[in-house]
């Protein structure tokens, strides 16, 4: 994808042409994400950047929101727009109880302030205290073994259960536990 975007993704998204996108249609990208999907993502990003300077604006929490449940849905709705393109399956819906792992990971990278060089912390209008650990099989299994969560599913309700436990440990930076939980889950030694 970076090769196709000439290693300048932001500039490419802003200036992409339909001719560029047609060249993607039959390309293989990654397992279930094909060139047609990539082209639709680029169209959607171009449309959004014509309307707003930064994606951050689409993720800002509204009054009384304490997690990204509604913000992720609002982003998804804006990103997909009125399209019925098959690519919408690649953008999780919290309203369908998805844990939205990839979107939560993206938010962690963009929001979380980190002195270790892992998270970029580029966005300044969203507080990291609202971040959640991206829930996947690894973080879920280890969290169950540590009795942080009891739910068996890896869904949004489990994200909220994990949030409750981790915010007691660190209310200002609950997502900092992501690497520890994920690493233990992957190591198989725990």
User: What are the DSSP calls for 152-183, one per residue?
Assistant: SS-BHHHHHHHHHHHHHH-TT-GGGGHHHHHH
pLDDT of residue 115: 82
CA–CA distances in Å: residue 7 to residues 3, 37, 97, 122, 125: 6, 19, 35, 19, 27
Are 110 and 40 in contact by the 8 Å Cβ rule? The answer is no
Distance linking the first and last C-alpha atoms of the chain: 36
pLDDT of residue 30: 83
- In the chain, where are the structural domains located? 1-51, 56-187
CA–CA distances in Å: residue 4 to residues 13, 47, 90: 11, 19, 20
| Phi, psi values for residue 17, rounded to 5° | -110, 160
Phi-psi region of 132 (alpha: psi -120 to 50; beta: other; left: phi over 0): beta
Per-residue pLDDT of the chain (190 residues; tens, 9 = 90+): 898 899 999 999 999 999 989 988 888 888 788 888 899 999 999 999 999 999 999 999 999 999 999 999 999 999 998 877 777 788 999 999 999 999 999 999 999 988 888 899 999 999 999 999 999 999 999 999 999 999 999 999 999 999 999 999 999 999 999 988 888 777 767 6
Q: Which residue has the tokens 């990971």?
A: 105
């Amino acid at each position: 994808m970076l090769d196709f975007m000439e290693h300048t993704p932001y500039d490419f998204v802003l200036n992409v042409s339909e001719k560029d996108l047609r060249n993607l249609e039959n390309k293989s990208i990654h397992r279930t994400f094909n060139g047609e999907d990539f082209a639709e993502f680029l169209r959607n990003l171009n449309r959004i950047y014509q309307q707003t300077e930064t994606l951050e604006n689409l993720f800002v929490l509204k009054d009384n929101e304490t997690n990204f449940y509604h913000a992720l849905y609002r982003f998804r709705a804006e990103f997909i727009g009125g399209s019925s393109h098959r690519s919408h399956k690649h953008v999780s819906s919290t309203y369908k109880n998805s844990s939205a792992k990839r979107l939560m990971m993206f938010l962690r990278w963009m929001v979380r302030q980190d002195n270790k060089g892992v998270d970029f912390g580029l966005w300044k209008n969203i507080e990291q205290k609202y971040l959640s650990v991206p829930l996947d099989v690894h973080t879920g299994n280890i969290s169950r073994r540590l009795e942080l969560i009891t739910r068996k599913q890896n869904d949004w309700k489990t994200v909220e259960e994990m949030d409750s436990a981790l915010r007691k440990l660190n209310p200002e930076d609950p997502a900092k536990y992501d690497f520890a939980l994920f690493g233990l889950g992957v190591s198989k030694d725990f």
